[in-house]
Amino acid sequence: MGKGHSTKLYLNVFLILLALTIITVVLARTLHFSPEISIIVALTIATVKASFVIWYFMHMKTESKLLWIYAIFPVIILGILVGGVFLDNPFRDNPTPITAVAPK
Amino acid sequence: MDTHTTTLQGPPHVHHMDSKTAYESAKFGMWLFLATELLLFGVLFAAFFLYRWKYLSEFEHAALQLDWKFGSINTAVLLFSSFTAALAVFYAQHNDNAKVRLNVLITIGCGFIFLIIKAIEYYAKYKHGYFIGTEHFNNADMIQKYKVYFGLYFCMTMLHALHVVIGMSLLFWVYTKARVNRFSEAYFTPVEIAALYWHLVDLIWIYLFPLLYLVK
């Protein structure tokens, strides 16, 4: 029972994660996306990888509802933070260019 | 994955209920802590997104100074270490302390490889004068092109490296317990907690790698 099956599952998850890493690198090195698209592609693949780690390696698959709530809560707070920052900034003046002010 | 609870049908364990409650609380506490860690790094990621958006051309230019090959190797190393950390938990649940020791040591070894590669990268950046505060960095051209990006780069990766060191220390503590065959299907909390922390280290790197090394 369990034993062989489970280690094999972990191995498969690791191989999938490795494959996704190679896909990220190849996509970024070969295709020339616009800055917006490239960050969305990178974040999407990273989130898929993170889900595999959380689901299988961190055993979220079998955890209780309570733990799920506590795991998802900070993600929502983070969304509010990032969302707030980006709701605010587009309505401001253009950024001042980084001026070269060498100390001393 | 409930094998460890379903196979627990031998002689009744006196501390069974206690240890189960203790196990659940420890795990719950660890997840709470991981939530705060997520917010800690989340703020830095928010800063990264914001400044990338504001200073896109500087970011594109500066990101080219990182070597994606180092980053890719380090990603593979950390993913493999997460795999062995998960195996350590699995073997602890199956009363195999020898394999817990082996997998924990491999995980710690991967941590060392990661840090060595990071140190090589840092040294190259330091020599090129990308480190804030070095004499070379203070020249006007450097500040204009690299300041914001490398400020965030060092802040995020150094904080991450600190987490790697803490994770390795936790795993070493697990190793010392496995040496005296402390773990069994009835007690494997420390292995699981340390592994959870290690997976978090891996998770953060999963996001850091493409954002810092690959996105143009």
Token pair recorded at residue A93: 């003046």
CA B18 to the chain's CA centroid:
31
Min Cα–Cα distance to chain A from B201, Å: 11
For helices B140-179 and B16-54, give the axis angle rounded to 10 degrees: 170
Condensed to tens digits (0 to 9), the pLDDT of residues B50-101 reads: 888 888 888 888 888 899 999 999 999 999 999 999 999 999 999 999 999 9
Above 80 in pLDDT, residue B135? no
Which of B27, B82, B145, B189 to mutate against chain A (most A CBs within 10 Å)?
Answer: B82
The interface residues of chain B toward chain A in range 13-32, judged by CB-CB distance below 8 A, are 27-28, 31-32
Give this prediction's pTM.
0.87
The band of B11, judged by pLDDT with boundaries at 50, 70 and 90, is very low
The amino acid sitting at B75 is T
Contact call for B138 and A103, based on CB within 8 A: yes
Min Cα–Cα distance to chain B from A35, Å: 6
Residue B90 vs residues A11, A27, B20, B54: alpha-carbon distances, Å: 12, 34, 17, 46
The interface residues of chain B toward chain A in range 147-186, judged by CB-CB distance below 8 A, are 147-148
Nearest beta carbon to residue B143 from set A1, A66, A100: A100
Above 60 in pLDDT, residue B110? yes
What ranges in chain A are assigned the alpha helix state H?
2-30, 35-52, 65-88
DSSP letters of B111-138? HHHHHHHHHHHHHHHHHHT-STTSTGGG
The residue that leads in pLDDT, B205 or A97, is: B205
Its ipTM equals 0.85
The band of B22, judged by pLDDT with boundaries at 50, 70 and 90, is confident
Q: Which letter does DSSP use for residue B10 in this model?
A: S
Condensed to tens digits (0 to 9), the pLDDT of residues A31-41 reads: 878 888 888 99
User: Beta-carbon neighbour count of residue A1 at 10 Å?
Assistant: 8
The residue that leads in pLDDT, A33 or B43, is: B43
